[in-house]
Structures are given as structure tokens and as C-alpha cells.
Structure 1
Amino acid sequence: MLAYPHLLAPLNLGFTTLKNRVLMGSMHTGLEELPDGPQRLAAFYAERAAGGVGLIVTGGIAPNKKGVVYQGASVLNDATQVPHHQIVTDAVHLAGGKIALQILHAGRYSYQKQPVAPSALQAPINPFAPQELSHDEVLQTIADFANCARLAKQAGYDGVEVMGSEGYLINQFLTARTNHRNDEWGGDFTRRMRFAVEIVRAVREATGPDFYPNLPPFDAGFSGGRLQLG
């Protein structure tokens, strides 16, 4: 451990303190959609918290039904879903850990009929072609991210991770290859970046300063080894 002397030291985030700098990255467990999913997830994550992980990040949860990775996947968009998530957060906290919810909108990767995307460009890994989001639909999607974060806070999560990479919706807006818009949500890099910026702004406004919003490093789009900024 001498090579990483701070790894097991507490980390003060201002509004809360992690017991160490060990993070369990997001992964889908296959438990999220089961009838007894909350109880099984609670046991799964609590075991990791008891084992010493400072911060756990859940598998991706969609902010609306258009954002699911596949038909019937987990969504957090209604207050009636909060008690199910509280089962998980209570178990993790009782085991001495912290937990953040990952908010993931799959965009054109959503495996369902008529997915949505910045532009109507079909993904090579999906047999379903997407519909281009209208301006009003873009604004509603931003609001849905904020609503999901607000509900996550109500459910006892210590923060949220907004999924901005791996080719999902936010990444699709950022990348010139998948964003062919010529309005305020596309064109040059500043306008392509606006969707991500507005989501983070809306999440912060919805949750306040005593909450952890994280947008992990994203892929702005690469072509021939060069970053596409314009």
C-alpha cells in the first residue's frame, strides 16, 4: 500500500465523508428488474460495503422509459418507486458504506422500437432506428434527468453519477459523428456540449449542494485517432 498511501484514507466531500477512496464502479447485476430485486440488490451491495468499499455506484437506471437499455429495464421517474430504492440505500448505510445512483439514458442504443437520439442515425449494434429528439423533447429529457436525481436523493442515495460516455445519449450529443443537428443542440463543440452542461446544471438545482453529482470522463468523439472538436 506504500505506492498508494491515501487509498484507504477518508475523503471529505464537504457534505459527507467517504471512509476511503475505494470505489465500486457501475455494473448491471441482472437483479434490478426481478420481483425481489430490491432485497437481493440490498444484500449484494451491503456485502460490498461491509467489505470496505467506500463508495458504490449502482447499475444504470434510466430517467424515463425512452432511456432504458432494453424494454422493461429499470426506470426511476416516479415517487412510488422511491421505497424500493430505500431498501438498497438503507442496507448499504447500515453496513457503513455510501452509494450513488447511476443515471443512464441509452439514446439510440436503447433496444426497443423507436428509440430517440440527437439525430436519426441508426446504431450499427441496434436493429431499431431512432427518432430525432425535438427541441421540446430535449428540454423534457433534461428535466427527466433532474427529476431522477431528485428522487434518488429522496431514496437516500448519497449522490448520482450521470452516464456521459460509452456511446449513450449524452455521448451521442457530444460526438459529431452521431450529432448532425444544426440548432442550439448541435453544430460546433460548444453547442454539442450544451446538453451535458444543462443536465448537470438541472441536477444540481434539483438536489442542492449537499449531494454528489458526477459526470465521469466522456468520449467527445474520435476519428483516425484525433479528437473531433468541430
Structure 2
Amino acid sequence: MFEKLLTPLQVGNITLRNRVLMGSMHTGLEEDPEGSRKLAAFYEARAKGGVGLIVTGGFSPNTAGRVFEEGADLVSEDQLDFHRPITEAVHRHGGRILLQILHTGRYSYQEGCVAPSPITAPINFYRPKELDHEEILQTIDDYARCAKLAQMAGYDGVEVMGSEGYLINEFIVKKTNHRTDEWGGSYENRIRLPISIVEKVREATGSDFLIVYRLSCLDLVEEGSSFEEVVELGQRIEEAGASLINTGIGWHEARIPTIAMMVPRAAFAWVTGEN
């Protein structure tokens, strides 16, 4: 029935042993003092079981993008020793592993959270600060630095989280981007951030590093992206240097359930198929 699922997939110069991907999930171990050892064992078991490609929980590229004040980030070479046992454990069993770069934007539960516009999320009581032009450029550089650090730690690539209502997604849609400068207004301006990030990450890591972009195919919020806009962004992201596109459905503030047990299996698969 799924004859291609367990066949190898060539992505650039990297061969995945099959097409099974373990998607990103935050385990809480990312902030645990013993998290390196525990995560290594957790992901090693999945690699030993045959998963072709694993994506870690989210690590922020800077302090403002953390899930909460003490949340996980990857900003310094001093943190590489936390990650190396994880990548080594997965590679021992022939698996590949990506680090997810997650900037939570206005979903960050801390004072000083940031967004394209100062609009508070309905699921957060912290009002975000609007990023200025220089801060946006610095954020793009932070993504590239984080990706390079991931490469140094032995990861096979990174996933750039551009879905679920986090920072990148907030720039893309009119609902959360009320800017009138080059980062807002027209769709071309609103997708400038994700394209710039992917380009900068590719420049920093070279051609043999996997870049997966998490694309929001269906925002499920008012003033979300249209089908045509999603298709255009996917094409532009590929042109910018992405190796693969991983599709996401729904913002965390959306009133339509997407991950609860009540949702039928593969309920939103049609969206990926159409894109």
C-alpha cells in the first residue's frame, strides 16, 4: 500500500534511508539539566527503530524568541556539548537529524517578546514589542548563526519553523503584520523575512546541509494566507535554497482543532496534496 515509504530518498547530496519523518515536538527535556543524555536516548530509540529523518523540538535563535524566559536556544559554541551526544546517537543507527529553529514571536511567554506589529496574541498576556528594521536584520543573522552552530554540533540540517503562528508566520499574514515599511503591506514585502532567512541560512551552511522549511498551508485564522499565496511562498522558498518543505496546519490560537484526539487521522492531508 505504501511501497515508496520505506525506499531511500536523495535530497541534494544527502541520502535518507527512507521517507519516514519524525516531526518536531517539544519534550520539555530541551531545558532539563540532564536533557542532553535523555534526548540522546529518546532520539536514538527512534533512529534504531528505523526512522529516516528526525526533527528536534524547537531551539530559538536568540533570547527574544524563546518559548519562555528560560526556554531553549542555540546561540553559542558553549552549548554544542549539549547537542553532540544527540546527533552522535542518531547517526550510530543510520538516521539523520535536524535541529528545529523556532522563534516564537508574540507567542513567547516573557516580557520583551517581539513581533512584526505590537498586537497581543489571544493566548498570551504579554504585549509584544514591534521589531525595527535593524532588529529584523539581526534576527535574520541570528537564524544563520543558529544553523551554523547546529552544523557544528553534527546535525544534518535545520528546520526553519515558518508555521503555526510563530514569528515568521506573523510577518506573512495581514492579521499580525500592520507594518508600512519594506517588511509589511504587500505580499512581496510580507514574505521578505522567510525568504531572507532561508537565503542567509543556505549561505552560512553550504550546499550539503539540509534546510527544511515548515510552511503553513492553512492558517485557520482570519486574514490568513490564501491558497495562491501559500503556493507562491512555497515556490519562492525553494528558490531561496530550501531542500524540503514540511507542511503545517493551523495557528495555536485557531479555534479549529488540529492536533486533538477528536481530529480524524489525516484530516488535513488534502491541503498538502493540493499544494
Shared fold, TM over 0.5: yes
How big is the alpha-carbon RMSD for the aligned residues of Structure 1 and Structure 2?
Answer: 1.5
TM-score normalised according to structure 2 size: 0.80
Measured after TM superposition, the shift of residue 147 of structure 1 is 0.3
Are residues 186 and 44 of structure 1, via their aligned partners in 2, closer, same or farther at CA, if it must alter by over 3 Å? same
Are residues 198 and 156 of structure 1, via their aligned partners in 2, closer, same or farther at CA, if it must alter by over 3 Å? same
Between 1 and 2, higher relative CO (CA 8 Å, sep ≥ 6) is seen in: 1
User: Which residue does 1:127 correspond to in 2?
Assistant: 125
User: Which residue does 1:9 correspond to in 2?
Assistant: 7
Match of 2:58 among 57, 60, 67: 60
Separation of aligned partners in 2, 1:143 and 1:114: 19
User: Which residue does 2:181 correspond to in 1?
Assistant: 183
Separation of aligned partners in 2, 1:225 and 1:73: 28
Q: Please tell me whether residue 34 in structure 1 is matched to residue 36 in structure 2.
A: no
Contact 2:173 2:224 in 1 (8 A): no
Q: Please tell me whether residue 103 in structure 1 is matched to residue 95 in structure 2.
A: no
Measured after TM superposition, the shift of residue 114 of structure 1 is 2.1
Q: Gaps spanning 5+ residues in structure 1: where?
A: none
Contact 1:109 1:126 in 2 (8 A): yes
Are residues 203 and 220 of structure 1, via their aligned partners in 2, closer, same or farther at CA, if it must alter by over 3 Å? farther
Q: Percent identity?
A: 56
Q: Please tell me whether residue 157 in structure 1 is matched to residue 187 in structure 2.
A: no
Contact 2:158 2:212 in 1 (8 A): yes
Q: Which amino acid aligns with 1:227?
A: S
SS of equivalent to 1:47: helix
Separation of aligned partners in 2, 1:194 and 1:182: 13
Contact 1:47 1:95 in 2 (8 A): no
Contact 2:218 2:225 in 1 (8 A): no
SS of equivalent to 1:217: strand
Number of equivalent positions: 227
Measured after TM superposition, the shift of residue 220 of structure 1 is 7.4
SS of equivalent to 1:150: helix
TM-score normalised according to structure 1 size: 0.95
User: Which residue does 2:190 correspond to in 1?
Assistant: 192
Q: Please tell me whether residue 143 in structure 1 is matched to residue 141 in structure 2.
A: yes
Measured after TM superposition, the shift of residue 93 of structure 1 is 0.3
Q: Which amino acid aligns with 2:226?
A: L
Q: Deviations over 1:66-99 (max 9, x none)?
A: 0011111110010111121111000110122110
Contact 1:162 1:215 in 2 (8 A): yes
Measured after TM superposition, the shift of residue 177 of structure 1 is 0.6
